[in-house]
């Protein structure tokens, strides 16, 4: 079995989806000859042609808006937003049109569209290149929102998102694109798309993470283990809908929860997770649900981003506060 990066996993998944269904189209800025600025669509235009891998004019609302029309014509567009901070020109089309089309038409029209967004920081980029806008989309009924965290999930989840008849916001932790490699078994049966996964079993504190912070949480769990603390880490994978069953099951055992994401904590995913856990597991909780995330400031200049981003130490600090509560 080959070991692959997240970038390769996504690339292979896109290729497989295009082979399986001739209605799958890719559109975005620089996705053709260049293969995307992160090379996720590398080689696809060469093999599938310019009609299926479409270099678009530089206009995000135009990309998503025309993809709506393609979906109405029976295609399954996969659009690439080059960076998280550039999704906002398309926000109106995503929220007012993409998200509502099925509802407005009472199910007569569908929007089988995937909007891929490289998200998160840690790559030393200039402003608008390191953001985490997931809560804005998870707050929008009609959209589904998922975040992959590793190469194998990247391979399967992108195919599953493309096969979904609802619009999916597909978040890719850009910091991980070319980082760790994992072995991919293409003959395996993947978990369903809209499910969370326990990636490390533990008994003292439940740590919830997704996308780039899964790795942070796993490192924290390793460090905590050296101090005799047992952390259970759950990779949420799906942010809308949320898969709360494994979370509740875990919290009922540990009684303590730390949520970590790069997005600002105020009204971030951690807020919703905290509310739901409190509603469902109130009598199991030994401590309040704690959130470790980006501060409620604009994303900082990159020289101080590692201080701003939640890291191993801040997760462990929250774990300690939870245990000492």
Partner 1 sequence: MSDPAVNTGGFGPDLVEVFGPSQQDGGPELVQLLTPEGERVHHPEFDHDFSAEELRGFYRDMVLTRRIDTEATALQRHGELGIWAQLLGQEAAQIGAGRALRPQDYVFPTYREHGVAYCRGIDPLDLLGLFRGVDQGAWDPAEKNFGLYTIVIGAQVLHGVGYAMGIQRDGAVGTGDPDRDAAVIAHFGDGASSQGDVNEGFIFAASYNAPVVFFCQNNQWAISEPIERQSRIPLYQRALGFGFPGVRVDGNDVLATYAVTKAALQRARDGQGPTFVEAYTYRMGAHTTTDDPTRYRLSDDVEHWKLKDPIERLKVYLRRNGLVDQAFFDDLDAEAKELGHHLREGCKALPDPEPMSVFDHVYTEMTDELAAQRDGYAAYLASFEGSDH
Catalytic site positions: 129
Among residues 75 and 177, whose Cβ is nearest to partner 1? 75
Is residue 149 involved in binding partner 1 (CB under 8 A)? no
Structure tokens at 164: 């979904």
Is residue 325 involved in binding partner 1 (CB under 8 A)? no
Binding piece for partner 1, criterion CB under 8 A, among 98-106, 184-192, 209-217, 317-325: 98-106
DSSP-derived pairing of the beta strands 182-183 and 144-147: unpaired
| Cα–Cα distance measured from residue 307 to residue 237, given in angstroms and rounded to the nearest whole number | 25
Is residue 70 involved in binding partner 1 (CB under 8 A)? yes
Binding piece for partner 1, criterion CB under 8 A, among 38-46, 66-74, 295-303, 309-317: 66-74
What is the nearest approach in angstroms of partner 1 to the Cβ of residue 91?
A: 12
What is the nearest approach in angstroms of partner 1 to the Cβ of residue 212?
A: 25
What is the nearest approach in angstroms of partner 1 to the Cβ of residue 138?
A: 11
Is residue 178 involved in binding partner 1 (CB under 8 A)? no
Name which of residues 7 to 36 contact partner 1 (CB under 8 A).
25
Residue 239: beta bridge partners? Answer: 242
What is the nearest approach in angstroms of partner 1 to the Cβ of residue 303?
A: 34
Give the angle subtended at the CA of 219 by the CAs of 218 and 223, to the nearest 5°: 115
| Of the candidate residues 83, 194, 210, 299, the single one contacting partner 1 (CB under 8 A) | 194
Name which of residues 101 to 140 contact partner 1 (CB under 8 A).
101-110
Q: Where are the beta strands (DSSP E) in the chain?
A: 3-4, 24-28, 53-55, 76-80, 114-119, 144-147, 168-173, 182-183, 197-200, 205-209, 231-235, 238-240, 257-264, 290-294
What is the nearest approach in angstroms of partner 1 to the Cβ of residue 196?
A: 13
| Cα–Cα distance measured from residue 264 to residue 255, given in angstroms and rounded to the nearest whole number | 25
Name which of residues 235 to 254 contact partner 1 (CB under 8 A).
241-242, 244
Task: Please work out the total of residues on this chain that contact partner 1, with binding judged by CB under 8 A.
Answer: 45
Positive or negative, the Cα torsion across 133, 134, 139, 143?
A: positive
DSSP-derived pairing of the beta strands 205-209 and 231-235: parallel
* Full strand arrangement of the beta sheet holding 257-264: 197-200, 231-235, 205-209, 257-264, 290-294
| Cα–Cα distance measured from residue 71 to residue 226, given in angstroms and rounded to the nearest whole number | 52
Query: Is residue 184 a contact partner of residue 156, using CB atoms and an 8 Å limit?
Result: no
Residues that bind partner 1 (CB under 8 A): 25, 51-52, 56-57, 59, 61-62, 64-75, 77, 89, 92-93, 96-97, 101-110, 141-142, 144, 165-166, 194, 241-242, 244
């Amino acid at each position: 079995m080959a070991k692959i990066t997240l970038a390769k996993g996504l690339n292979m998944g896109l290729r497989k989806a295009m082979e399986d269904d001739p209605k799958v189209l890719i559109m975005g800025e620089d996705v053709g000859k260049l293969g995307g600025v992160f090379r996720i669509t590398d080689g696809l235009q060469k093999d599938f042609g310019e009609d299926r891998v479409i270099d678009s004019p530089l206009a995000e609302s135009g990309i998503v808006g025309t993809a709506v029309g393609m979906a109405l014509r029976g295609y399954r567009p996969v659009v690439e937003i080059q960076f998280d901070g550039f999704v906002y020109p398309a926000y109106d089309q995503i929220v007012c049109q993409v998200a509502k089309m099925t509802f407005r038409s009472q199910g007569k029209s569908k929007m089988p569209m995937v909007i891929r967004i490289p998200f998160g920081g840690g790559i030393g980029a200039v402003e608008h290149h390191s953001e985490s806008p997931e809560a804005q989309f998870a707050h929008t009924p009609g959209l589904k929102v998922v975040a992959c965290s590793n190469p194998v999930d990247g391979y399967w989840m992108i195919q599953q998102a493309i096969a979904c008849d609802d619009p999916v916001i597909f978040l890719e932790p850009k910091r991980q694109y070319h980082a760790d490699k994992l072995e991919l078994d293409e003959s395996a049966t993947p978990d369903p798309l809209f499910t969370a996964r326990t990636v490390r079993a533990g008994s003292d504190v439940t740590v919830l993470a997704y996308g780039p912070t899964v790795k942070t949480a796993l490192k924290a769990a390793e460090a905590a283990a050296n101090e005799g603390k047992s952390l259970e880490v759950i990779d949420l994978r799906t942010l809308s809908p949320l898969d709360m069953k494994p979370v509740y099951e875990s919290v009922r055992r540990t009684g303590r929860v730390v949520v970590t994401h790069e997005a600002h904590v105020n009204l971030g995913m951690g807020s919703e997770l905290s509310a739901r856990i409190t509603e469902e597991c109130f009598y199991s909780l030994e401590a309040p649900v704690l959130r470790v995330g980006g501060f409620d400031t604009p994303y900082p200049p990159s020289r101080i981003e590692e201080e701003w981003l939640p890291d191993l130490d801040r997760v462990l600090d929250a774990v300690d506060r939870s245990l000492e509560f």
